[in-house]
Chain A
């Protein structure tokens, strides 16, 4: 199974994602430069964290127009699993592959800490290996993770069960205090209407080995490997 990790100028978690896929999971992985026009036949695409194009204008606003994004869109529309992590999530929002937008954190600070995230739904390729309601301890590192969408959009997301991750307490209670950035309804991550595109602000790829303090993020990558091996996804290549 092959992971493609897209590299934008300013991506800085591309190697973390590659390392998790290649060395922790033992899968094939390749970097794809943002100006490339092929995903190299990958089965899974990761848009990594970082500061694509220096976050100039708005986070993800310029990365959205990179040539590779046409391929990512095509791959997503064909049912291929796409995971946007942090800045990758912001790129997915700007590209319109997921709804909504990010505002500055309510604290107006760059929040860098481990948080607890509750898995709300397990019928996505990246959460299929979780039990519903499982709480993951994963780090966040962002200045603009304050998720916003119009109230009717939020209603639609809740109704369609597209809110996949919510900031919560260690016991899984979704409370205002557990919300690190002011996101509407404690939203930490979403999936697309077709459920194959998932974006989240926390960094699962930085929580795949005990040496870095948590292995809770591994389940996302293990889930997608299992989903693909079981043929649960349409082939997108």
Chain B
């Protein structure tokens, strides 16, 4: 089963990389791009019986390692089409 984990900086945290990318886009003429936030995306292939099990494991992995709760939050999608986990 495949879980997708999206890690992003919390809204309150300044994102120097995202700001730089936004400035580059403005230089290219994309004035319509108001803001860019850069994050990380993980695909986890998980040996699990149910989507719920896969989601639980992915969430544990995100809590322990993939995201730093001081500055980041994450969102999980599991391929079965079940609802998202957002934390």
Residues of A within 8 A of B (CB): 57-58, 61-62, 65, 93-94, 99-101, 103-108, 146, 148-150, 182
A-B contact pairs, 28 of them (CB 8 A): A57-B65, A57-B66, A61-B68, A62-B65, A65-B65, A94-B68, A99-B70, A100-B70, A101-B70, A101-B71, A103-B9, A103-B13, A103-B71, A104-B16, A104-B17, A105-B16, A106-B14, A107-B16, A108-B16, A108-B17, A146-B16, A148-B13, A148-B70, A149-B70, A150-B12, A150-B70, A182-B14, A182-B16
Q: Which residues of A contact B17 (CB under 8 A)?
A: 104, 108
Q: What chain B residues lie within 8 Å of A99 (beta carbons)?
A: 70
Q: Please give the residue numbers on chain B whose beta carbons come within 8 Å of chain A beta carbons, in ascending order.
A: 9, 12-17, 20, 65-66, 68, 70-71
Give the CA-CA distance A182 to B13 in the complex, in Å: 12
Contacting pair A148 B71 (CB below 8 A): yes
A103 and B16 within 8 A (CB): yes
Check B14 against A103 for contact (C-beta < 8 Å): yes
Closest Cβ–Cβ distance, residue B17 to chain A (whole Å): 6
* Chain A contacts for B65, CB-based, 8 A: 57, 61-62, 65
Inside 8 A of A182's CB, which chain B residues have their CB? 14, 16
Distance between A100 CB and nearest chain B CB, rounded to angstroms? 6
Chain B residues within an 8 Å CB radius of A62:
65
Q: How far is the CB of B73 from chain A (nearest CB, A)?
A: 13
From residue B33, how far is it (CB to closest CB) to chain A in Å?
A: 18
| Chain A residues with CB under 8 A of B15 | 103
Q: Which residues of A contact B9 (CB under 8 A)?
A: 103
- The answer to whether B16 touches A106 (Cβ under 8 A) is yes
Of B13, B14, B17, B20, most A-chain CB atoms within 10 Å: B14
Tell me the complex Cα distance, A61–B70, Å: 13
Bound: A146/B19 CA distance, A? 15
17 further A-B contacts with Cβ under 8 Å, apart from A99-B70, A108-B16, A150-B12, are A57-B65, A57-B66, A61-B65, A100-B70, A101-B68, A101-B71, A103-B9, A103-B13, A103-B71, A105-B16, A107-B16, A146-B16, A148-B13, A148-B70, A148-B71, A150-B70, A182-B14
| A58 partner residues in chain B, CB cutoff 8 A | 68
A10 CB to nearest B CB, Å? 17
